[in-house]
Amino acid sequence: MPFSRLPTPLAEALTERGYAAPTAVQAAVIEPAAEGRDMIVSAQTGSGKTVAFGLAMAADLMRDGALPAPGLPQVLVIAPTRELALQVARELEWLYAKVGARITSCVGGMDPSRERRTLSHGTHIVVGTPGRLRDHLERGALVLSSLRVAVLDEADEMLDMGFREDLEQILDATPSARRTLLFSATMPKPIVALAKRYQRDALAISTIGAERGHGDISYQAVTVAPSDIENACVNLLRFYEPDTAILFCATREAVNRLHASLVERGFAAVALSGEHSQSERNHALQALRDRRARVCVATDVAARGIDLPSLSLVIHAELPRDAEALQHRSGRTGRAGKKGTAVLIVPYPRRRRTEGMLRDARIQAEWRGVPTPAEVQDADRERLIVTLSQPQELDDEDRALGARLLAERSPEEVAAMLVRAHRARLPAAEELLEGGPSSVRQRDEGPRAGFEDTVWFRMNVGRRHNADPRWLLPLLCRRGHITKQDIGAIRIANDETAFEIPRAVAGKFAAALKRTAASDQESELMIVPMAGPPERGGGPPPRARLTPRPTNRGPRGRR
C-alpha cells in the first residue's frame, strides 16, 4: 500500500481523491525519520506540499485514528495571502473529512466577528493570514496554549511581504514544545534565520531536485528587442489561445502598463498586484474562474495561492530573479496531470543570463522566435476548422435561419461570413521589428547627407551577445531620445558595437543616456563616446574593450 504508514481515514481519502502514490515531498514527510521532528522543507509549487504537511501533522492531531473533541486549536497553518489560506483550508477539509475535523479560516476580507465566534465554539485546525491571526491573538480570540503543530506555508513570501514581526509575535505565543514545519519554495538567509530561532534540530528536506515540478510543463524562450516585449505577449497569447494564461511582471507599475495595453488590444484581461484591494482581487479571480476573463497579469506575490485548473500558459513578460522564482512562477500550470506551457520573453541583451538561469533550474527550454502574424493566422485557421467540425445541437430556429441564409447566399458565402465573424472577435497579431545585416551601414560607402561630422559611441555588447540592428536601433532611439535617421553606421564586433551620431545631436543623445541609464531591461548596458572612428576591421579595436559596469539594482521593485 503506498500510504500504509498513514491512519486509515487519511489513506482512504487520498485513494478516493485519485492519489495512486505519494509525491516526493509527501513521501519524505511521512518517513519514520521525520516522525515528531521539526522540518524545513524546500518544495516547488505544484508538488503536493499542502497535502504533505496535512499528512505530517496527522500523528500529532489524531489518536487511535480519531480526533479529540474540538477545543483550543491543535494545529495552526499560516499562509501569505487570503487565496492561498482558503486553498489550504479546502485541501485539509477533504483530507480530514472522514474524521470530522473542524477547520477554521481566519483571513483578511472576511467578517472578523464571525471568525471569533467560530473560534469560541472550538476547532482542531486554524488556517489564516499573518495580519488577521495577529489581530485575533491580540484580542484574545485565538488562544495557542494547546498548539501541537505550527506550519508556515510559503514562508519566503511572508517575509518578503513584510510579515516578519507578525510571524514572530504569533510563534512566540505558542508552546515551546510544539513542532514547527516550515515550507518554502526558496531558502534565502532570512528563512534560515527564522528556522534557527523557532525550530529545534530541524530535518531539512528538499525535493526540488528529486521531483521535477516542471515535468508536465513545456518551456520555451523567445528573444525579442526590448521595445517589442508587449507585442511578443500579444502574439504569444494569440498563437496559443489558452483557456487561461498568467503573465508575470516584476512590479505593480509594469502590471498596470501591460494590463492596460492588452485590454486596449481587445483581450479579456484582469490585473493582480499589491495595489489592488481584496474586493478587486476577488472580482478578478472570479472573472477568471467563470471565463469572463482569460488573461491575468500579475506580480509574483499577488499570484500566490491562485489555483486555476484551466491555466495552460504562463508567460514571463519580465524575467524572474532566479531559477527558483522561475520554477515557482511556472509551476502555476502543468498541474494534476495536465500539460502546460511556460514561455520566457528574453530581451536580446539578457540571453546569456537567461541561459544560466535555465541551467541552474535544470530546465531544457526550446529557443525560438516570437510567433509571426502569419503563424498566428495559421493557428487560427486550424482551431477554427476544429471548432466548426464539432457536432452541434440545432433547434428549429437555427435550421430556419440557416435555410434563409442559404436561400439568399451561396454555401461558400455563408461559410466565409461565418469565418469572418469568428475572426472579427480576435485581437490582431502584432508585427515585430524586422531588420538584418542590410541595416548595418559601412563607412566604405562614404558618409550620407548629414553625417559629414559625427561622434562615435560604443556599447558593451557584440556578436557574442547576439547584437543585431533589429534591437540595437530601437534601443538607441529609446535610450537616447533620437530617431533612426540620427544613427549612422553601425559596426558590430565580437564584444562591442560602435555607431555614429551627428555631432549636432550628440550632446542631446549623451544627456538622454544618463537620464535613462536605470532602464530595467538594459541596466547592465554601458554606452560611452569614443575618441574617434573604429578601425576598419568592422568594429572597435581590441584595446578599446569595455568592462560592464557593476550592477547596482537598489531595492527591488514594489510588488
Kindly report, residue by residue over 164-201, the tens digit of the pLDDT: 899 999 999 999 999 999 988 777 788 888 888 999 98
Where is average pLDDT lowest: 22-31, 126-135, 296-305, 400-409? 296-305
**Cell numbers representing residue 239 in the block:** 498563437
Residue 393, number of CB atoms within 10 A of its CB: 5
CA dihedral 251, 253, 257, 258 (to 10 degrees): 10
Residues 230 and 258: beta-carbon distance below 8 Å: yes
Residue 250, pLDDT above cutoff 70: yes
Q: pLDDT per residue over 69-97, tens digit each?
A: 999 999 999 998 888 898 899 999 999 99
The answer to whether residues 247 and 268 touch, using CB atoms and an 8 Å cutoff, is: no
Do 82 and 305 meet the contact criterion of CB atoms below 8 Å apart?
Answer: yes
d(CA 252, CA 281): 14
Percent residues over pLDDT 70 in the chain: 88
Domains with residue ranges and CATH for the chain: 8-206 (3.40.50.300), 217-372 (3.40.50.300), 375-424 (no CATH), 437-544 (3.30.70)
Quote the pLDDT of residue 548: 41
No. of H helices and E strands in the chain?
20, 18
CA 383/CA 381 separation, integer angstroms: 6
As a whole number, mean pLDDT of residues 252-260 equals 92
- Which residues lie below 8 Å from residue 303, measured CB to CB, with a gap of 6+? 246, 248, 272, 296, 329, 332
What CA–CA distance (Å, rounded) separates 285 from 283? 6
Q: Grid coordinates standing for 438?
A: 542590410
Whole-number Å distance between alpha carbons of 100 and 418: 55
pTM for the full predicted model: 0.57
The C-alpha cell at 25 is 515531498
Q: Which has the minimum average pLDDT: 179-188, 223-232, 345-354, 431-440? A: 431-440
Residue 290 in contact with residue 150, Cβ under 8 Å? no
Identity of the amino acid at 159:
L
Residue 242 · residue 291 · CB < 8 Å: no
Give the span between the Cα atoms of 196 and 200, in whole angstroms: 7
Supply the pLDDT for residue 58: 92
Secondary structure in 3-state letters for 271-327: EECCCCCHHHHHHHHHHHHCCCCCEEEEECCCCCCCCCCCEEEEEECCCCCCHHHHH
The pLDDT of residue 367 is 93
**pLDDT category, 387, cuts 50, 70, 90?**
confident
Q: State the Cα–Cα distance between residues 231 and 224, nearest whole angstrom.
A: 9
DSSP code for 106: E
Higher-confidence residue of 541 and 454: namely 454
Mean pLDDT of 100-106: 95
Residue 239, C-beta contacts closer than 8 angstroms, at least 6 positions apart: 371, 375, 376, 379, 429
User: Strands 340-347 and 217-224, how do they pair?
Assistant: parallel
Which pLDDT tens digit goes with each residue over 327-356? 888 888 876 567 889 999 998 878 888 999
pLDDT over threshold 80, residue 500: yes
CB neighbours of residue 361 within 10 Å: 22
In this structure, what DSSP letter does residue 109 have? T
Q: Which of 131-140, 304-313, 454-463 has the highest mean pLDDT?
A: 131-140
Question: Contact 248/316 with Cβ under 8 angstroms?
Answer: yes
108-122, 242-256, 464-478, 481-495: segment of lowest average pLDDT: 464-478
First-to-last C-alpha distance (Å) of the chain: 45
Residue 60: is it exposed, middle or buried by C-beta count within 10 angstroms (0-12/13-18/19+)? middle
